[in-house]
Structure 1
Amino acid sequence: MNGRTVTLAGGVLVAGAAALALALWSSSGGQSGASSSAPTATRSFPLSKPPRTIPSVRSATPAHGPGWRPGPDGRVVVGDDGLADEGRLLAGELKLHYAGHTDARAGDVELDLASGAGDGPESYTLRVRDGRVRIEGPAQAGVFYGTRTLKQEVHAGGTAPEGEVRDGPAKPVRGFMLDIARKPFTAGWLENLVRELGDLKYNELGLHLSDDQGFRIESATHPEVVSRDHLSKAQVQRLVALASARHISIVPEIDSPGHLGAVIGAHPELQLHGAGGRAPAGTVDIANPAAGRIVDDLLKEYARLFPGSKWHLGGDEYVPLMSSDPGTAYPALAAAAKRRYGGKARVQDLTAGWLNDRYATLHRAHRTAVRAWDDGFPADGVVHLDKAIQVAYWTGREPDERDPVDFLKEGRRVINYNDEFLYYILGQLHHFPYPTGRRIYQDWSPLVVRGTEPVPAKYDRQVLGATFAVWCDDANAQTEDQVAAGIRMPLRALVQRLWDPGKPPLSWNEFMALGQRLGD
């Protein structure tokens, strides 16, 4: 190809030359790129421009040629049978015929695996040349993301520009988390969400399954804790299959030892009692072995339902740790800590031990990528959370919370859930205004883990990525459709910054217009 490489610094560049090329070609009597006698790419066509997608591609080599768009005789073919699912999905979306493992011809889209096609399992190369498209990557995930780029390129009659794209994400964790415990969401809505996340190249969907207000998933081991309005296991299996086909890992969370009100409702004997008879809502007595047994039963049951290595332990807002003097406020916990861990142990040590025990249960179930909320990690003491547990850092408003740099200095891996930018709380309770895509796009980066200031760049590799979280504290404040509309541009802004954290070249207004066009 004749051309030059354009490296994109994190945004989407306006493209129009490919459409002009198609118009010039058509006016000279040509057909679309699906024609069996595709024209040769020559300098009679303008030099192409990078594709217009969200997230933007990171590197593009332009070329002279008409580009490609789906035609009536076009097919999707694969060079490896392991790409059959990706091929069938793309064929259905672009109204092409899926031809399976066979040679490509003009007008086709060819998917293949190639070890040198990218820098990681989620990278890919997309080449438009000689009236056909070839997408290849070192793994299925990268090829899938290449198909998402192509799908956006030809959206609403568009044309995939001639040339080559080499692309891949900067961050391995690109997540969205949904609180279905406080507000049940329908299975159909969740499935549409998965499709949207896949098209945007997200790779995680976190589900907050239980809280004080509800327990929203069928259970065989403890059916007594399940709320009336819940997802059946069959519905979950369909959701898992849909997510897997789009290379999205579902990250379940059974939050503990706080936020367990639904479990306590069925087992009041697990309720924690402190000095003066206080009984904080949703708070189990971690000195009671029965509490650990019930949570472990649930973890083991759902480890069989949700495949993969990822899990969220919770661990946030355990009420005793929010007390100025946990040992005085909860003397029974203080005594239990000393019995188990020695005379210097305190309530925070007993809490850390609880989370380590739950982690051990998950580890035996082959869950190796486990995270917990940052306020579940004690700053000092005789017991520390297992080094393998990732830090889900969310809160920066409380002055006594640990700084993210503390965790990074310890060598821990951190996932950014910064509540300043990435928390969408229904009803805007607790002084949390709804986050905007504009603010994420302009003022946030993956290194802005707490508040508005970034952590030092030397920790970039330890910050694995970020997750946008919807919390349903006021469940009736918005309908499902209103939630979908409210998170639409924040999701797009976030994935842009995770795919390429560099300064986006598009203005916010240009980016928003692109998001609206691609959503038509």
Structure 2
Amino acid sequence: MTTLGCQQTEGGQGTPGTHSPARPSAHATTATSARSPSAVPPHRTAAAAPPRTIPSVRDFAAASGPGWRPGDDSRVVADLEGPLADEARLIAAELGLRTTSGPARRGDLCLGLAPKESGGGEAYTLKVAGGRARITGPAEAGVFYGTRTVKQALRSGGRLPEGVIHDRPGRAQRGLNLDIARKFYSVGWIEARMREMADLKLNQLALHFSDDQGFRIQSTSHPEIVSTPHLTKDQVRQIVALGQRLHITVIPEIDSPGHLGAVIRAHPQLQLRNAGGTTFQGSVDISHPAAARIVDDLMREYAPLFPGRWWHLGADEYLALTVKDPQASFPKLAAAAKREYGPSARVQDLVTGWLNDRARLARQLGKRPKAWNDGFFAGGVVQPAKNIEVEYWTGRLKETARQPEEYLKEGREVVNLNDSFLYYVLGQPGGFTYPTGERIYEDWSPAVLRGSTPVADKSLTGPDRILGARFAIWGDRPEAQTPAQVAQGIRLPLAALAQRVWDPGKPPLSWSDFTRLAERLGV
């Protein structure tokens, strides 16, 4: 196997490759020194135990030997003009080492690409032998995760054990959902959480930046809707750039056609009203052409700002569908549905048409659309497009409640945001309680989409059907906790999620041992 960028001396193999220029250099702002005064002595030891990390490594073949820890002359070796330059500089700064290109020698940590390795782009191999450590993977993301294992193993045990680690995620999507519309968080706070996420091998940050309480990103197409405080576009670019260095995709969410109160304040003519003139908070009149026009303007404006793969359309809690008879209560919507989709169409068909139209635009903009599960209705003349990912959060809304199996049996791909386990709702309104890491660790898995019972049909719960999970912070009562309290409150739940979504098996540690390890690692 050719290992690009990890040439070795003393019988090592591999040749440095020629690569495109690296991404902007990473800067370690929370460096953790695991450097020892001298290299590990060359005596032989018994076969070692796996390193203690969060998430735990999935496959470790132990060997006899002293292992590896950085010494005075240790270096991080990589092609510093290639795609692993950021990864090399970050781990070097964290360990207090210098970087270099060229052959690796005893005592070094070497990073290289091995395109033919199996396991996908987030997999990696970490080999400790001959007095050196080597991380390889098919793509940069996997090598980066290997450096997270190195960092944690040195902090938890002082050295890397002799042997070979083969590691890879059990689910492709793993991350955090952050509501900055109801409760604003600073760039520094967001970036601190991203660094913590990266150490846990989480790879998505979804930003919910538009809701009834505020619209939190600068806009040139519709500046009239923007709230104070908000993120400037340069600040968003800063967050996205950090995400690229940490292999975290930042996903934008403009929730519609509900949760648009900030837009309605600037455009009151779009307010949804029933036949009696009663207003419905946050919901727009989707029969009004300007409603779609504004949302589409914003999508087109922000698509270049968020270069990642996904776009979240929201689609939850549209209040026109929470009444007993939407057709009678909203005759204007009912008439629009019939005009657009035929005499049998109902209000829910008009709402589904709205979702499909926004999903079509997202795809035109190069994005894969996501939407909350209660925006996918059973029956009807119009069906939601099959290539919209279902973000399953609840079955508690009686008007739109559907079992997770229904979406999976329709052939849809689902992401788990089970509100019984993964919702951190400030102030704990509406029966919500702050989730605990222990409950996630002991009782939850990606297959537990609703309540506490996993989907029974295991043919529906593989990583190709349930794509992963995110932990969600919602600011319903924004003053209930300070940003520092939120950061502390989510620490163990996020670590527990990282373990359960990386490795599908039973966690190897007891909860008490896991919490002690998390404390030692600082995650």
- TM-score, with length taken from structure 2: 0.90
Q: Secondary structure at the match of 1:282?
A: strand
TM-superposed deviation, 1:72? 2.2
Map of 1:497 onto structure 2 = 500
Divergent runs of 4+, >6 A? none
Q: Secondary structure at the match of 1:418?
A: coil
Identity rate, percent = 58
CA distance in 2, matches of 1:166, 1:505: 16
After superposition, the C-alpha distances for 1:262-316 in whole angstroms (9 at most, x for unaligned) are 0000011111111110110111010011000000010111101011211110000
Is 1:388–2:352 an aligned residue pair?
Answer: no
Is 1:354–2:335 an aligned residue pair?
Answer: no
After superposition, the C-alpha distances for 1:100-156 in whole angstroms (9 at most, x for unaligned) are x31111111111111233311100000111111100001111000000000101127
Q: Secondary structure at the match of 2:237?
A: helix
TM-superposed deviation, 1:398? 3.0
Q: Secondary structure at the match of 2:488?
A: helix
TM-superposed deviation, 1:505? 2.3
What is the correspondence of 1:81-480 to structure 2 with a 5 Å cutoff?
81-99=82-100, 101-155=101-155, 158-367=158-367, 369-400=368-399, 401-455=401-455, 456-459=457-460, 460=462, 461-480=464-483
Q: How many equivalent residue pairs?
A: 483
- The one-letter amino acid of 1:87's match is A
Do the aligned partners of residues 261 and 399 (structure 1) sit closer, same or farther apart at CA in structure 2, a change above 3 Å counting?
A: closer
Is 1:511–2:511 an aligned residue pair?
Answer: no
Map of 2:7 onto structure 1 = none
**Higher share of residues assigned helix:** 1
Contact persistence 1:69–1:158 (CA under 8 A): yes
TM-superposed deviation, 1:214? 0.3
TM-superposed deviation, 1:79? 4.8
CA distance in 2, matches of 1:127, 1:79: 18
Q: Secondary structure at the match of 1:353?
A: helix
Map of 1:15 onto structure 2 = none
- The one-letter amino acid of 2:218's match is E
CA distance in 1, matches of 2:468, 2:38: 44
- The one-letter amino acid of 1:471's match is W
Q: Secondary structure at the match of 1:429?
A: coil
- Quote the RMSD (CA, aligned, Å): 1.4
Contact persistence 2:53–2:156 (CA under 8 A): no
CA distance in 2, matches of 1:317, 1:31: 60
After superposition, the C-alpha distances for 1:311-358 in whole angstroms (9 at most, x for unaligned) are 110000000111121111111000000000000000000001111111
CA distance in 2, matches of 1:519, 1:31: 25
Do the aligned partners of residues 450 and 429 (structure 1) sit closer, same or farther apart at CA in structure 2, a change above 3 Å counting?
A: same
CA distance in 2, matches of 1:246, 1:289: 40
Contact persistence 2:51–2:157 (CA under 8 A): no
- The one-letter amino acid of 2:99's match is Y
CA distance in 2, matches of 1:207, 1:91: 30
Q: Secondary structure at the match of 1:280?
A: strand
CA distance in 2, matches of 1:203, 1:511: 21
TM-superposed deviation, 1:424? 0.5
CA distance in 2, matches of 1:315, 1:298: 16
Contact persistence 2:259–2:282 (CA under 8 A): yes
Contact persistence 2:156–2:517 (CA under 8 A): no
TM-superposed deviation, 1:192? 0.6
CA distance in 1, matches of 2:278, 2:103: 72
Q: Secondary structure at the match of 1:359?
A: helix
CA distance in 1, matches of 2:282, 2:507: 43
Do the aligned partners of residues 506 and 156 (structure 1) sit closer, same or farther apart at CA in structure 2, a change above 3 Å counting?
A: closer
Q: Secondary structure at the match of 1:255?
A: strand
CA distance in 2, matches of 1:399, 1:478: 30
- The one-letter amino acid of 2:394's match is T
CA distance in 2, matches of 1:246, 1:229: 26
Contact persistence 1:118–1:125 (CA under 8 A): no
Range with bigger deviation, 117-126 or 133-142? 117-126
CA distance in 2, matches of 1:371, 1:156: 38
TM-superposed deviation, 1:31? 4.2
